[in-house]
Amino acid sequence: MNTLRDEVGRTHTYLRLSVTDRCNLRCTYCMPAEGIALRPHHEILTFDEIERIVRIAAGLGVTKLRLTGGEPLVRRDLLILAGRLTAIAGIQHVGLTTNGVLLGENLHGLVRAGISSINISLDTLRRDRFRAITRRDEFDSVLSNIDLALRSAIPRIKINVVVMRGTNDDELPQFVDFARERRLMVRFIEYMPFKDNGWSAETMVPFEEMKSRIENLVELIPLPERNRHTSTKVFSIAGGTGTIGFITAMSDHFCGTCNRLRLTADGRLRPCLMDAHEIDLRSTLRSGAGIEALQEILAQAIRVKPQGHRLGQAQSPRDRTMAQIGG
C-alpha cells in the first residue's frame, strides 16, 4: 500500500538518489569552472544508510529508484550499492543517470546489478563544442560508451540534451538523426535556472519552438503516454528506429502528476527540485531513530511538497547547483 499520497492526490512511487556531489565534468550550465564546495565524506550518506532509507521508502510504496549525482559512477563501489538496491523487495526499477565518461568499464557490472535503464547526458555531437560545454576532453569516450551501452543488455537507453540558445540549439537536426538510427530516445531538456549556471530567459528554447524547428525537417508522431507520471512528451520519427522526447519543466510543468522525491547525497529530502525546502533526514537517521520516526520524515516531505513550482519567475530557487541537488 502506498502511504506517500499528498492532499492533492499525488502518490509518490519514485525516489531519486544522489549518491555523490562530485563530478568528473564541469558542464557550464551545471557548475562553475572551479567546481563546487564539496561536502566532507562524513556528511555523505553511507551505503547502509541509503539502503535503510530505500527499504523504508519501499515499505511506503516506492517502486522506482534512480541513481544520480554529481556523477554517480565516481562514487566508489557504486555497483555494490546498485545490487543492494535492486534486491530490495518492492523495488521494481532502478535507473542510472550518468555523463557516460566511466560507463564502458561499468556496463557489465550495471547489467549484473539489475539496472534497467541508463540516461546518458550528451549536449553536442561536436568534439570542440563538447570540450567548451563540459570543460573536459571526454567526447570520444562518451560516444564510444554510448555504442557499448546500445550493444549491452540494458533495456532502455536515453540521451539527455540540455538545449541552450546560441550554444547547441543548431544541433537539433543532428540529434534527430542520432535517434533515427539507434535504439534510444533523445530527450531535449529545457534549460533550467540553478545557482550560478548562467541561465537567462533568452537562452531557454521552449518546447514548442524546438518541436516546430524539428517538424520543419521530419514528421514527428506523438506517442501515447505509457506512464502517467512522465515528465517527457514522446514522439516517434517517421521511418526511424529511436524516439524523441521533450522535458518541458519550464514551459509546461508536470507538477500535477509529479510522483518524485529526491534524496541529496548529504541526506536531505527535497520534495521538489525547484523549491529550496529540504528536510534533514541524515540527522534523524544518525540519531538512532527507529523506523517510525524515519517513516514520519518521508510523510512530512509529502506534506510540505508544493503543488506546483514557479520556474521561470523571479522566485526560481538558486540555492544549490543541480550537481548538489542531484539531477
Residue 42's CB: how many other CB atoms inside 10 A? 8
CA distance 28 to 20: 19
SS3 at position 230: coil
CA distance 57 to 96: 18
Cβ 16 to ligand SAM shortest distance, Å: 10
- Selected from 157, 205, 274, 322, the binder of ligand SAM by CB under 6 A is 322
* Grid cell at residue 98: 550518468
The contact pattern for ligand SAM, residues 73-102, with x = CB under 6 A and - = no contact, is ------------------------xxx---
| Three-state SS letters, 284-306 | HHHCCCCHHHHHHHHHHHHHHCC
Residue 321's CB: how many other CB atoms inside 10 A? 21
Kindly state whether residue 214 participates in binding ligand SAM, applying the rule CB under 6 A. no
Kindly state whether residue 121 participates in binding ligand SAM, applying the rule CB under 6 A. yes
Instruction: Determine the interface stretch with ligand SAM among 46-54, 192-200, 234-242, 304-312 (rule: CB under 6 A).
Output: 192-200
Nearer to ligand SAM by Cβ, of 109 and 198: the residue is 198
How far CA 194 is from CA of 138, 186, 275, in Å, comes to 24, 23, 11
Across-strand partners of 156? 117
* Grid cell at residue 26: 564541469
Nearer to ligand SAM by Cβ, of 72 and 240: the residue is 72
* Grid cell at residue 41: 565524506
Kindly state whether residue 23 participates in binding ligand SAM, applying the rule CB under 6 A. yes
- Selected from 10, 17, 65, 69, the binder of ligand SAM by CB under 6 A is 69
The contact pattern for ligand SAM, residues 135-164, with x = CB under 6 A and - = no contact, is -------------------------x-x--
- Selected from 20, 124, 197, 243, the binder of ligand SAM by CB under 6 A is 197
Contact residues toward ligand SAM (CB under 6 A) are 23, 29-30, 68-69, 71, 97-99, 121, 160, 162, 189, 191-192, 194, 197, 322-323, 327
